[in-house]
Amino acid sequence: MTHELVTALGPLLTAEASAEAYAAGTEPADLEQAVWLRLLERLDAEDPPRDPPGWLRRVVRAEARRSRRAARHETPLTRDPAADARHDPELLALAAARRRALRDAVRRLPGRCPRLMEALLSPDDPTYREIAGELGISQGSLGPERSRCLGCLRRLLTPEVAAR
């Protein structure tokens, strides 16, 4: 009986929930789930609906009204969760440790890589022209030089990342 009822009501519920969900400010799948729950409660109480299609339409509308009422009483989150993360002491400590590890690895790089990487990591965000002028190299060679330096940095950091 239950399987046949679910099979028979499935397409009707999908259509009704899709029609009512937008106006209720909810997702059709959430509305469907609420209606299936109401049906299971009725079946558990051994009180199956006499007119299943009519019952289903009434319950979909009732659940949509309930969802609208709940949405009116809910207050939206005014805080920015990302801002909270920026003030979380644990996350701040982890970020500082990552920055220290990166800066330490940059200092261990060979040749002019430390100066190039420091310039690229600078909070001033210099242009390639400014970096090339500071390092005394051509602007065209910055890309290949940066690639080599990043490869060295990757090799330096791989054992540290693997150890964690």
Residues 6+ apart with CB under 8 A from 62: none
Other CB atoms within 10 Å distance of the CB of residue 130: 14
Domain boundary among 73, 94, 111: 73
One domain, residues 67 and 111? no
Query: What pLDDT, in 10s, does the model give residues 75-133?
Result: 766 666 666 666 778 888 888 998 898 889 999 999 989 999 999 888 888 998 999 99
Judge if 65 and 91 occupy the same domain. Answer: no
- 137-163: pLDDT as tens digits: 898 889 899 999 999 999 888 876 555
Find out whether 94 and 50 touch, Cβ atoms under 8 Å: no
Residues 116, 48 share a domain: no
In this predicted model, what pLDDT tens digit does every residue of 37-84 receive, in sequence order? Answer: 998 888 888 888 889 899 999 999 999 999 888 888 877 666 666 666
DSSP assignments along the chain, one per residue: -HHHHHHHHHHHHHHHHHHHHHHHTS-HHHHHHHHHHHHHHHHHTT---SSHHHHHHHHHHHHHHHHHHHHHH-----S-HHHHHHT-HHHHHHHHHHHHHHHHHHHT--TTHHHHHHHHT-TT---HHHHHHHHTS-GGGHHHHHHHHHHHHHHHHHHHHHH-
- Are both 132 and 103 inside the same structural domain? yes
CATH of residue 125's domain is 1.10.10.10
Helix crossing, 128-135 with 113-120: angle to 10°?
150
C-alpha–C-alpha distance, residues 80 and 62, integer Å: 33
Number of structural domains the chain divides into: 2
Q: Is the pLDDT of residue 1 over 70?
A: no
Instruction: Please measure the distance between the N-terminal and C-terminal CA atoms of the chain and give it in whole angstroms.
Output: 56
